[in-house]
Structure 1
Amino acid sequence: MQVNKKTKQLFWKTASFVVLLCFSLTTIAWSNPALGSQAQAVQTHPLSKLKNLSLSEQLGRIEEVYIPEGVNPDSPFIVYLQDAHANLGAQENIAQIARELQKQLKIETILKEGGSGEAHLKDLRSFPNQKIKDSVTRFWMNEAVLSGIEREAIIGPRKYRFFGIEEQTVYEAGGKYFLETQSQAKPLLISVDSLIKHNLEHQKKILNPELLHFEERISKFEGKEELVALVNFMANQARNLHVNRWKYLEIEKFIDLILLEMEGG
């Protein structure tokens, strides 16, 4: 499929799950390296700020920071963000995370899957009425046409360079194989039913009674689209087993929504 120039500029897909934020350093031809001594460069390199990197509790948590040996001021630096497909809450958080990381790490460029080539956002960013721009981009994000990172690139304070990093032929081939796999999934799942039954029988022999009971309760929710009931059950189990639920903020927020619904909110 051939893509014209305008389409190529804004060739983003709604089913994105990977967002790449790339900080352009001196190894990139169009970067703008700072002048000064090697010591000054080390201080301004984003890696020097990673140990103190933080996010608000509402956005998420940083589990670990790993800095490999041999990193120097000329090393390219990439922040990798992965999100849930077309999940509005995830998209809103990613937009806020991107803005926060830009402040702390001075990110200049966004690389996104589902697109090809550079997208020139000047016309969108230069629209004079910020309130209308906020409203329109939020509407299209709610409709899963724009992702959170795309919205931030349009309305945020930072003027990013924005690139789609897909190789179009490979991207389309992946979509084709996905559809083919979907069509073949049902007979394949039927063929493994006997293996699943064997596995369940084996579990009864090796699992302790508490874990076996938990697995049996969880299995009752499979295929029934009863997510609220499942999360409610898991929350009660966590309380009974003294598990710190605050380590799992997504589930905790979902529990809050359940309680709100029960109260008629």
Structure 2
Amino acid sequence: MAKSLTVYGKRDKRYPGGVRYALHIPMEKSVDKPRKAEEQRRANPQMPVVTVDLGVGRLAVMGAFVEGKLAATRFVDGRALNHRRHRLLTAIHRKREQSGRLQPAVQDNANLWNKIRNLDENAAKQTAVTIVRFAREHGARVIVFEHLRRYRPPKEKMSRSGRKNHKRAYWLRGQIMEWVRDLAFREGILTVERNPAYTSQVCPHCQALGERNGSRFTCKNPNHRYSADADFVGMMNLYRKWTKTFVYPRKGDDPKPEVA
């Protein structure tokens, strides 16, 4: 059901007259409120579920589980976005060094910051649409994410623009989840979060503690030696946490436990 139309204008030098116009058509759609996650799981333990592991190098790694088995996977690459954002942040820091001390209450490099914000917002929207569409294709009624924790700066040495880029890439995860919640609710799909501890450090097959080296995971079980992408392993273990079959490592296995 359509409501009143709204014409929206915004200054943009790329358009004729320096103004970009958009026509907003608000719509109303009635949907049934999805039941709580635990109620759905108890009613049908083998129900279709989509689990999503959000990352930096890859914006999202999603898997659809149908009748307890992995039916399909999809990867959303984010390396091009990180590279472009890093170049823009480097340009901002270079211009700051040339201009000297910043004036209070004055936004520096407004056009470059707008480009960065637009890049992140566009990537968040496109990734969210991909996740919800993937869930609809496989009939999932629940999308499982990892619970995001407070940002922690990387331990390795980085430039100022590199650290800022890493922080904005982490913040992008929250934007993706917000858009997914909104879009999924319109389709009657529930979004839930699970603790990400050990999800990328435990083998999804034999439940043995493994080792993560960069983007690769290797199982330490000498009889297994399973190796796969760490984000893919995290996605698989999120499903085990959803079904409550995930086994945490024993205290003697890892004296310094780390989160995913």
Higher strand content, 1 or 2: 2
Whichever of the two has the greater Rg, that structure is 1
Shorter-chain TM-score range: under 0.3
Q: Which has the higher contact order (CA 8 A, sep 6+)?
A: 1
**TM-score, normalised by the number of residues in structure 2:** 0.20
